[in-house]
Amino acid sequence: MLNFPRWKIILISLIALLGILTAVPNFLSDEQLDQYPDFLPDKQVTLGLDLQGGVHLLMEVDLTEVKKEKLASKRGDIRDALKKNNIAQRSSIRNNTIHVNLTDKSQTEQALSVIDDTVEMIGASLTGSGVPDIEVERGVGGAIVVKLTEEGLIRRSDDVVTQSIEVIRRRIDGMGTTEPNIQKQGVGRILVQVPGFDDPQKLKNIIGRTAKLSFQLVNAAIGIQDRVPPGYERFPMAESERRPGLPDSIVVSKRKILTGENLVDAGLSYDQDNRPVVSFRFDRKGGIRFADVTRKNVNRQFAIILDGVVISAPNIQSPILGGSGIITGNFTVDSASELGLLLRAGALPAKLTVVEERTVGPDLGSDNIEAGKIAAIIGLLAVMVYIILSYGAFGVVTNFALIINIALIFGLLSTLGATLTMPGVAGIVLTIGMAVDANVLIFERVREEFRLGKNALSALDAGYDKAFSTIIDANVTTFIAALILFQFGSGPVKGFAVTLAIGIATSMFTAVSLSRMIISTWARKRRPTTLKI
Amino acid sequence: MLLKLVPEKTDVKFINYRKIAYLFSFLSIIVAFGLYFNKGLNFGIDFEGGIMVEIGTETPADIGRIRSAMSSLKMGDVKVQEFGDPRDVLIRLEHQEGLTVDQVVEKIREILPSAIDGEISYRRTETVGSTVSGELIEDGIMAVFFAISAVLVYIWFRFEWQFGMGAVVALVHDVILTIGMFSFTGLEFNLSTIAAILTIVGYSLNDTVVVYDRIRENLRKFRKMPMSELLNLSINETLSRTVMTSVTTLIALAALFFLGGEGIHGFAAAMIWGIFVGTYSSIFIASPILLWVELQREPNTTPQAGMEVYPPKKS
């Protein structure tokens, strides 16, 4: 062991130096970091929500809604396709399946092939053919039964999640806060973490609303008691728009003049009385269509419907030609700019419900950091004192290795962009305690070999050699536990697993390579005859 | 003069106390099960679902007043407790039928000023839905199960199956006793507890593997030594290391327990307990179990570096 090749010494020293360099930014203040030379790494560890405060929301896509919409549109497609082929039928949706009853059962074969042609392959790409969205079967009594496929639904919900993430990202970016973390989690779930933000209500207002906007013509002839005829639907008026003596709901044509997708811009503005309103602009196609419809319907009413509620139902006094307009209503400055933001960012493809919510206030976060720091420093010092008391000069080497170890942990966490959470701090403190183990195994072995009568140098040699396989076995087992924890843990627990795993890897390096290098260099120079260990 | 908690040469007959240890562990496990089935665990909202609000007050809070204010809301079973400091209060309740979480929190925010003097800071709100909490439990159980299985495979691969058996028995023992400790103390059982249990699994294993390593080595070195003597020798040889590592880890954990803040308290407590149980089980459970099973005393057929290979011996 005394002959440590030069390249090894250089490599080990370089790694240790790199660890220190990447760890240093974490211990500097922002001002110091500004003056820090550019060529040095300046990445800091990302603090978890529990350490810096923030909101954590786990949202779930309403899959029943997705299913319902898909079934309805599929039923429409099938009806249209059959009609085109002159096949008369009646269909209904029961228990998540579409039942098609043909008037003339002899057309069944033909109908089946027509329906087969409506099958869409979901997720088709250059590399794969995708999965069919429906399954067509013959049911009892000659009916045709169409079911949605499980894989198709999962793909569909994946699409919904991906689109939703886009929309949520645009909405949160529009709020101008710090970097949000938005990611897909499992099937149909979205995790949203916004650090440094402690108003979950506001966040939910922004990201939880579907914001489906449509412009539809009002049919004022149908009263509040009347049945809604086919082709029309009834929507409630927003509470702020209800007036005594006027109906609380309104009937509109199902045909949408335009939807939120036709908007290119929206935002806060003021009307002539200086009340806040939401101004918007249509894209070119939308502008032409809106001009066309308003020209033909002067003196009729149209409704602006947001998420199933009529927020405004103005009269068309003259054709609206400029492709832009305003939505009046009982807005405050806040609610008008909020709606503007939602309209700009677009509608969510499905309703999202919050299934898990955690909010940490900023002062709790800083309390946690403070407590974690103190615990880590005191723990470290106490362990170091104990090590020196037990191993003397060898203890000094161990302690040096321990400090490099902590630098490496912070360096790796910063470089990997991992998130440090409170359990992560616990992981580091625990690693401090356990990192010493490898050195303990070695030194105890050296003691034993020395007592057996070996000379100092060969005792050192044998100690390192024989302890090595034990160290590997002991660390691999803990590492396995850390990996599994990472796989199954969520949130803060994952943070713990990451620091534990990193800590095991770095402590192996510092104990086996670094401390060995220092001790062998010392032994080669001094040629000790006895070991104070 | 260097500090040595364990003298240079020890000769404690650990294995001879094994029957007492078995009895002690057996009784402890019975007690743990008894506690678990009668008293149960104090599940956190991670596993039970519900709503939790942590508030900070300017002056020490009057828990009784807060409790009666909360019960006027008629929201069922409401838990109000101090959280590490008299100015830090934890309020926990179940999901309310017909009310959204926001409405519940709003109501709490309306009623609290009547029970607390001065500013109230809302330090933390958490809600976990019942489907999510169910999944978290499932994931937790899976994690512990997979960790133990993976370890069994690793030890089997590195040693012999008998060692794997012994290690797993010791691990299950540790996990049961840790859950028993949580039931006994009423410490909150949450996600970080699962992390603690898995770390205990890792630590206890670490200890067991070190002793097993030495047993394997001695099995090759002393081929005629009676098994119980060989086990005693191996435990004694590694005793100094066992104590040293336990002490350094305990020092670090003690710092965490006393200074790390309330949020990490349960975790540190579980870990401290785990160090004791894990060390005990590697010496008194994992090692003596090797007496029950026939250990192969021929050397491994595949020689390892730096190890002498003896010619196979006919038995």
Q: What is the pLDDT of residue B20?
A: 93
Class of domain A213-357: alpha beta
Interface-testing mutation among B57, B249, B307, with chain A (most A C-beta atoms within 10 A): B249
pLDDT band of A522, cuts 50, 70, 90: confident
Select the residue of A201, A378, A390 nearest B255 (Cβ to Cβ): A378
B222-262 residue pLDDT tens: 888 888 899 999 999 999 899 999 999 999 999 989 998 88
Min Cα–Cα distance to chain B from A444, Å = 6
B96-111 residue pLDDT tens: 887 877 788 888 888 8
In a domain, B312, yes or no: no
Instruction: Say yes or no for a CB contact (<8 Å) between B192 and A492.
Output: yes
Say if CB A411 and CB A23 are below 8 A apart. yes
Instruction: Say yes or no for a CB contact (<8 Å) between B102 and A382.
Output: no
Asked if B96 and B145 sit in the same domain, the reply is: no
* Radius of gyration for chain A, computed over Cα atoms and rounded to the nearest angstrom: 34
What's the CATH code of the domain at B111? 3.30.70.3400
Say if CB A361 and CB A53 are below 8 A apart. yes
In a domain, B297, yes or no: no
Nearest to B111 by CA among B62, B72, B57, B55: B72
Asked if B141 and B174 sit in the same domain, the reply is: yes
First CA to last CA distance, chain B: 49
Backbone torsions φ then ψ of A95, nearest 5 degrees: 45, 45
Q: What is the pLDDT of residue B178?
A: 93
CA A383 to chain centre: 39
A434-459 residue pLDDT tens: 788 888 889 888 888 888 888 888 88
Asked if B206 and B62 sit in the same domain, the reply is: no
Residues of chain A contacting residue B245, judged by C-beta atoms under 8 Å apart:
433-434, 436-437, 440
B10 has a chain A CB within 8 A of its CB: no
Domain boundaries, chain A: 6-51+361-526, 63-153, 213-357
Q: Which two tokens stand for residue B211?
A: 């002793």
Q: What is the pLDDT of residue A1?
A: 55
Q: Considering only alpha carbons, which residue of chain B is nearest residue A462?
A: B306
Cα B272 from Cα B136, distance rounded (Å):
24
Asked if B187 and B241 sit in the same domain, the reply is: yes
**A106-110, A393-397, A418-422, B292-296: range with lowest mean pLDDT:** B292-296
Q: How many other C-beta atoms can be found within 10 angstroms of the C-beta atom of residue A125?
A: 8
User: How much is the average pLDDT of A257-276?
Assistant: 87
Q: Which two tokens stand for residue B117?
A: 């003097």
Residues of chain B contacting residue A444, judged by C-beta atoms under 8 Å apart:
238, 240-241, 244
Nearest to A405 by CA among A510, A248, A260: A510
Residues 21-50 of A with CB under 8 A from B: 50
Q: Which domain holds residue B204?
A: 14-41+133-291
B38 has a chain A CB within 8 A of its CB: no
Cα B58 from Cα A389, distance rounded (Å):
45
Asked if B147 and B172 sit in the same domain, the reply is: yes
Asked if B93 and B235 sit in the same domain, the reply is: no
User: How much is the average pLDDT of A44-63?
Assistant: 84
Residues of chain A contacting residue B194, judged by C-beta atoms under 8 Å apart:
489, 493
In a domain, B156, yes or no: yes
Backbone torsions φ then ψ of B54, nearest 5 degrees: -110, 130
Above 60 in pLDDT, residue B314?
no
Strand partners, B120: B57
B117-161 residue pLDDT tens: 888 888 888 888 877 888 888 888 888 888 888 888 888 888 888
Residues of chain A contacting residue B128, judged by C-beta atoms under 8 Å apart:
355-356
Say if CB B89 and CB B63 are below 8 A apart. yes
Asked if B205 and B277 sit in the same domain, the reply is: yes
Cα A402 from Cα A383, distance rounded (Å):
10
Tokens 């240079």, located at residue: B8
In a domain, B6, yes or no: no
pLDDT band of A402, cuts 50, 70, 90: very high
Nearest to A270 by CA among A322, A310, A313, A327: A327
pLDDT band of A407, cuts 50, 70, 90: very high
B94 has a chain A CB within 8 A of its CB: no
B158 has a chain A CB within 8 A of its CB: yes
Asked if B178 and B232 sit in the same domain, the reply is: yes
Say if CB A208 and CB B101 are below 8 A apart. no
A327-374 residue pLDDT tens: 887 888 888 888 888 888 888 888 888 888 888 887 888 888 888 889
Instruction: Say yes or no for a CB contact (<8 Å) between B4 and A390.
Output: yes
> ipTM score here?
0.82
Q: What is the pLDDT of residue A83?
A: 87
Min Cα–Cα distance to chain A from B24, Å = 27
Residues of chain A contacting residue B126, judged by C-beta atoms under 8 Å apart:
357-359
What's the CATH code of the domain at B169? 1.20.1640.10
**What are the start-end ranges of the H helices in A356-392?**
362-391
Select the residue of A382, A422, A433 nearest B264 (Cβ to Cβ): A422
Q: Which helix (H) or strand (E) holds B189?
A: strand B188-189
Q: Which DSSP string do the residues of A181-193 spell out, in sequence order?
A: EEEE-SSSEEEEE
Q: What is the pLDDT of residue B301?
A: 46
Min Cα–Cα distance to chain A from B249, Å = 4
First CA to last CA distance, chain A: 18
Q: Which residues contact A460 (CB under 8 A, 6 or more apart)?
A: A1, A446, A519, A520, A523, A531
**A196-205, A313-322, A403-412, B44-53: range with lowest mean pLDDT:** A196-205
Min Cα–Cα distance to chain A from B41, Å = 20
Select the residue of B123, B132, B151 nearest A480 (Cβ to Cβ): B151
Asked if B114 and B203 sit in the same domain, the reply is: no
Say if CB A468 and CB A486 are below 8 A apart. no
Q: Which helix (H) or strand (E) holds B120?
A: strand B120-128
Cα A437 from Cα A503, distance rounded (Å):
12
Residues 345-404 of A with CB under 8 A from B: 354-361, 363-364, 367-368, 371-372, 374-376, 378-380, 382-383, 386-387, 389-392
Interface-testing mutation among A204, A373, A484, with chain B (most B C-beta atoms within 10 A): A484
| Higher-pLDDT residue of A371, A177 | A371
Min Cα–Cα distance to chain A from B146, Å = 7
- CATH code given to domain A6-51+361-526: 1.20.1640.10
Residue A278 is given by DSSP the state E
Domain total of chain B: 2
Instruction: Say yes or no for a CB contact (<8 Å) between A356 and B132.
Output: yes
Strand partners, A460: none
Spell out a b/e string for A456-487, using b for 16 or more CB atoms within 10 Å of the CB, else e: bbebbbbbbebbbbbbbbbbbbbbbbbbbbbe
Q: What is the mean pLDDT of chain A?
A: 85
Instruction: Say yes or no for a CB contact (<8 Å) between A391 and B2.
Output: yes
Asked if B32 and B64 sit in the same domain, the reply is: no
User: How much is the average pLDDT of A22-40?
Assistant: 81
Asked if B200 and B218 sit in the same domain, the reply is: yes
B149 has a chain A CB within 8 A of its CB: no
Min Cα–Cα distance to chain B from A111, Å = 42
Instruction: Say yes or no for a CB contact (<8 Å) between A488 and B139.
Output: yes
Q: Which DSSP string do the residues of A235-277 spell out, in sequence order?
A: EEBPGGG--TTS-SEEEEEEEEEEEGGGEEEEEEEE-TT--EE
A187 has a chain B CB within 8 A of its CB: no
pLDDT band of A527, cuts 50, 70, 90: confident
Torsion (CA) A528, A530, A531, A532 in degrees, nearest 10:
-120
Nearest to A200 by CA among A27, A427, A357: A357
Min Cα–Cα distance to chain A from B65, Å = 24
Asked if B155 and B272 sit in the same domain, the reply is: yes
Above 50 in pLDDT, residue B302?
no
Q: What is the pLDDT of residue A177?
A: 62
User: How much is the average pLDDT of A300-321?
Assistant: 87
Q: Which DSSP string do the residues of B156-184 spell out, in sequence order?
A: HHHS-HHHHHHHHHHHHHHHHHHHHHHHH
In a domain, B314, yes or no: no
Express as a percent the part of chain A with pLDDT over 70. 97
Q: Which residues contact B8 (CB under 8 A, 6 or more apart)?
A: A447, A451
In a domain, B88, yes or no: yes
Above 90 in pLDDT, residue B280?
yes
B252 has a chain A CB within 8 A of its CB: yes
Cα A157 from Cα A62, distance rounded (Å):
9
Instruction: Say yes or no for a CB contact (<8 Å) between A354 and B271.
Output: no
Contacts 24+ apart (CB under 8 A), A23-31: A23/A406, A23/A407, A23/A408, A23/A409, A23/A410, A23/A411, A23/A414, A25/A414, A26/A410, A26/A414
